[in-house]
């Protein structure tokens, strides 16, 4: 009898311990499963990593770029070359050659025969052609001097008359000026000479300067390229 009661109590205690252990196990397992379930039901949205903007490389300014530097150097070189060219090749009378002058003097008058010589060395590195003439049966004389760098580069034309009338001087000077100026030049040589030979005068047209001066005995016309001397 006492043994049976002891066994009953032992079984009851064992059952109670088993229930306590089972309850503790259930309490430890189910919250973890619920947390796992919540994690699976409500996934955390992870934002993609933001892309950092690439650093902008400052564009070189025109003045600091190598190409600009080369252009500046080229511009300076061309400017220096142009200045040197102007110094080595001074201005000439536009579109005038020596033959335009000395080759046509013979047509001025039938009684005036020019005899031209040259080229000969002139002041500096220039050369000149000289064409004197005497009027047949008169004491008057004419002279034309052409100065240039070569036959196609003419710096000046000088016409001088001795002992001729004012009208003859104006006629000769207007003829020489007409040989020196292009046909399209707005200046009328004949009208200008008639007005200025008596008192003297000067003018400029198309890159060429004209001046006439002198006395009743000796008068001179100068046709000079502007900037030649």
Give 21 or 162, the one with higher predicted confidence: 162
Give the pLDDT band (50/70/90) at residue 63. very low
Examine residue 6 and state whether it is found in any structural domain, yes or no.
no
Note whether residue 157 is domain-resident: yes
Domain, as residue range, for 166: 98-225
CA atoms within 13 A on the CB side of 220: 9
Distances (CA, A) of 105 to 116, 121, 140, 159, 227: 10, 22, 16, 11, 26
Whether residue 133 lies inside any domain: the answer is yes
Total domains in the fold of the chain: 1
The verdict on residue 91 lying in a domain is: no
Residue 7 is assigned to a structural domain of this protein: no
In a domain, 123, yes or no: yes
- pLDDT band at residue 227 using 50, 70 and 90 as cut-offs: confident
pLDDT-derived band at 124, boundaries 50, 70, 90: confident
Angle at 198 between CA 196 and CA 203, to 5 degrees: 20
Q: Identify whether 29 is part of a domain.
A: no
Domain-embedded: residue 39: no
């Amino acid at each position: 009898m006492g043994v049976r009661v002891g066994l009953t109590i032992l079984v009851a205690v064992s059952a109670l311990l088993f229930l306590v252990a089972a309850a503790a196990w259930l309490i430890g397992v189910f919250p973890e499963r619920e947390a796992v379930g919540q994690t699976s039901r409500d996934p955390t949205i992870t934002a993609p990593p933001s892309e950092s903007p690439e650093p902008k490389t400052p564009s070189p300014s025109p003045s600091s770029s190598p190409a600009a530097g080369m252009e500046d150097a080229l511009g300076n070189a061309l400017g220096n070359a142009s200045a040197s060219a102007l110094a080595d090749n001074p201005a000439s009378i536009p579109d005038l050659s020596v033959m335009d002058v000395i080759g046509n003097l013979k047509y001025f008058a039938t009684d005036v025969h020019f005899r031209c010589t040259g080229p000969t060395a002139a002041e500096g590195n220039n050369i000149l052609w000289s064409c004197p003439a005497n009027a047949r049966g008169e004491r008057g004389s004419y002279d034309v001097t052409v100065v240039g760098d070569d036959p196609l580069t003419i710096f000046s034309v000088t016409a001088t008359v001795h002992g001729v009338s004012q009208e003859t001087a104006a006629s000769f000077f207007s003829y020489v000026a007409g040989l020196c100026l292009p046909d399209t030049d707005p200046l009328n040589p004949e009208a200008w000479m008639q007005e200025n030979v008596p008192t003297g005068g000067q003018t400029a047209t198309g890159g060429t300067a004209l001046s006439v001066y002198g006395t009743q005995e000796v008068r001179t016309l100068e046709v000079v390229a502007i900037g030649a001397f």
